[in-house]
């Protein structure tokens, strides 16, 4: 027995319309309907209150500006959010959710005020941002970075790095570990 494709398409459209109507009727009967939403796949969830996303961005900016806030535990930060939105249950995992572009823009402006930078590919949640900002504020570098402070002297025929001398070739390069490094590139990098 062959079932026509148009019949299946029409049946799915009819079923979808009926489910939408039932979902809408159910939602209308709920006393707290303003706090609930129905997703496109017809699952009921508690809608985030107005201003919640902006509060996350403001919280991250506060992490940049306030050492006291930066040193709060995640539980204290969640309690702070809970105080702003008492009718919405704020879970601890909110600090592990990815930062939105709007959050990153606000954070970049705040970081610029302090002369700090973070890699949003790595510090992509409020919790990771807090950890990195604590490290930066304490005078340490962000996790995963290395700081080198060599003494480098470049003369016409040698490059001296921490008292180790490297001869400059006729092509203007030095050799280290089997690799050639252009002295001009090294100079440009160090003078940047």
43-54 per-position pLDDT tens digit: 776 778 889 999
Among 26-30, 64-68, 95-99, 110-114, the range scoring the smallest mean pLDDT is 26-30
Domain of 64 in residue numbering reads as 52-137
Tokens of 177: 């570990």
Q: 60 and 35, same structural domain?
A: no
pTM of the model as a whole: 0.56
Residues β-bridged to residue 175 = 180
In the chain, how many domains are there? 3
Q: Give a yes or no: residue 183 inside a domain.
A: yes
Rounded to 5°, angle at Cα 127 from 81 and 47: 40
Tell me whether residue 28 is in a domain: yes
pLDDT confidence of residue 142? 55
- For the segment 171-192, what is each residue's pLDDT rounded down to a tens digit? 999 998 889 999 998 888 887 6
Kindly provide the residue ranges of all beta strands, DSSP E only, lying in 13-84, ordered along the sequence: 36-38, 44-46
Tens digit of pLDDT for each residue in 95-139?
A: 999 999 999 999 999 998 888 889 999 999 999 999 999 888 877
Task: For residues 42 and 82, state if they share a domain.
Answer: no
pLDDT digits (tens, 9 = 90+) for 145-175: 666 778 889 999 999 988 899 999 999 999 9
Give the span between the Cα atoms of 160 and 138, in whole angstroms: 32
User: What length does the chain have?
Assistant: 192
- Per-residue confidence (pLDDT) for residue 141, from 0 to 100: 53
Q: Is 32 a domain residue? A: yes
The answer as to whether 71 is a domain residue is yes
pLDDT at 158: 93
- Of 137, 166, 182, the position where a domain reaches its end is 137
Same domain, 57 and 108: yes
Residue 147 lies in a domain: no
Do 131 and 66 share a domain, yes or no? yes
5-21 tens-digit pLDDT = 888 788 888 888 888 88
Whether residue 23 sits in one domain with residue 60 = no
Residue 38 lies in a domain: yes
- What CA–CA distance (Å, rounded) separates 158 from 46? 68
* 103 part of a folded domain: yes
One domain, residues 111 and 174: no
Same domain, yes or no, for 74 and 129? yes
- Quick one: 71 and 128 in the same domain? yes
Which pLDDT score is estimated for 34? 67
Residue 33: per-residue pLDDT:
65
């Amino acid at each position: 027995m062959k079932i026509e494709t148009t019949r299946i398409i029409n049946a799915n459209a009819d079923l979808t319309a009926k489910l939408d109507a039932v979902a809408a009727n159910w939602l209308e009967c709920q006393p707290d309907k303003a706090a609930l939403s129905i997703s496109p796949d017809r699952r009921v969830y508690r809608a985030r209150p107005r201003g919640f996303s902006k509060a996350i961005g403001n919280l991250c900016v506060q992490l940049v500006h306030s050492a006291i806030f930066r040193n709060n535990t995640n539980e204290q930060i969640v309690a702070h959010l809970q105080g702003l939105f008492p009718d919405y249950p704020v879970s601890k995992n909110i600090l592990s959710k990815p930062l939105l572009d709007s959050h990153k823009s606000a954070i970049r402006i705040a970081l610029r005020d302090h002369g700090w930078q973070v890699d949003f590919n790595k510090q992509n949640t409020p919790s990771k941002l807090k950890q990195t900002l604590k490290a930066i504020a304490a005078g340490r570098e962000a996790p995963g970075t290395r700081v080198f402070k060599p003494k480098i002297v470049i003369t016409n025929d040698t490059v001296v790095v921490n008292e180790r001398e490297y001869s400059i070739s006729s092509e203007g390069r030095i050799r280290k570990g089997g690799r050639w490094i252009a002295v001009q590139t090294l100079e440009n990098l160090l003078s940047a």
